[in-house]
Amino acid sequence: MIGNDYPNISDLIADAKASFEKALELIEREDYYDAAEKAWRAIETMRKAVLVAAKIPYQYAKTVNIGLPLFSDFLRNIKKKKALDLYDRLAYRLHILGFYEGIISPGEIKELIISDVEMLLGELEQIVKMAEKVDLREALESFLRIQKLKQKIMIHNAELADAKTQYMDRLSLSIAKIVKNRV
């Protein structure tokens, strides 16, 4: 059974709000790319708060390979696809194109943070309240089982590819002997 070692949900929410406030301060100083990073940190902290509220241990909630699919599936299942779409849009526009690539204009970063990030954080805070009413630990156990099965499949796929390569090599070698003898 998955344990319930998770930080205080209200601390995560407070941390997300503090990161958002820092993003707004950075916008005022016209430090747009650092503001994008702080705004994304606020979103990710709130994503973790949603999962922790749903009894997902923080060690899993904080990961991308486990926490992000759980978050996405949870939002889809509680009919919050618009919030998920906004999360995905901000992940791409604000985090990747804004912060990492630096190709989004300062004006767009400011607009994304002031309107979309604030809206998403408010929506996620409401979702935290819904998440507190569910326990996703058994779903997490099933998800982890899926991950283990995927790993096994990948290993077997590699073995299968190797066996196919050996087969084709041996087939070609056998045929080459016949073709060589005919010449």
Contacts with 19 (C-beta within 8 Å, 6 or more apart), sequence order: 38, 39, 41, 42, 45
Same domain membership, residue 109 and residue 152: no
Does the structure show a pLDDT above 90 at 99? Answer: no
Please give the residue range of the domain that contains residue 20.
Answer: 9-135
Chain segment 141-154, per-residue pLDDT in tens: 999 999 899 888 88
Same domain membership, residue 177 and residue 89: no
Residue where one domain finishes, among candidates 97, 112, 135:
135
**Amino acid type, 23:** A
Same domain membership, residue 130 and residue 157: no
Same domain membership, residue 146 and residue 118: no
Q: Look up residue 153 and give its two tokens.
A: 């499949």
Same domain membership, residue 74 and residue 49: yes
Same domain membership, residue 147 and residue 115: no
pLDDT of residue 182: 66
Same domain membership, residue 149 and residue 70: no
Same domain membership, residue 160 and residue 84: no
Indicate the number of domains in the chain.
2
Same domain membership, residue 113 and residue 96: yes
Compute the distance between CA of residue 59 and CA of residue 57 in angstroms, rounded to an integer: 5
pLDDT of residue 160: 83
Same domain membership, residue 154 and residue 109: no
pTM exceeds 0.85: no
Is there a domain that residue 1 lies in? Answer: no
Same domain membership, residue 117 and residue 155: no
Same domain membership, residue 153 and residue 87: no
Q: 181: pLDDT confidence band, cut at 50, 70 and 90?
A: low
Is there a domain that residue 2 lies in? Answer: no
Compute the distance between CA of residue 62 and CA of residue 39 in angstroms, rounded to an integer: 17
Q: 2: pLDDT confidence band, cut at 50, 70 and 90?
A: very low
% of the chain residues with pLDDT over 90: 71
Task: Report the CATH number at residue 40.
Answer: 1.20.120.330
Residue where one domain finishes, among candidates 117, 135, 153:
135
| Unique residue bearing structure tokens 């991950």 | 147
Chain segment 42-86, per-residue pLDDT in tens: 999 999 999 999 999 999 999 999 999 999 999 999 999 999 999
Compute the distance between CA of residue 141 and CA of residue 43 in angstroms, rounded to an integer: 25
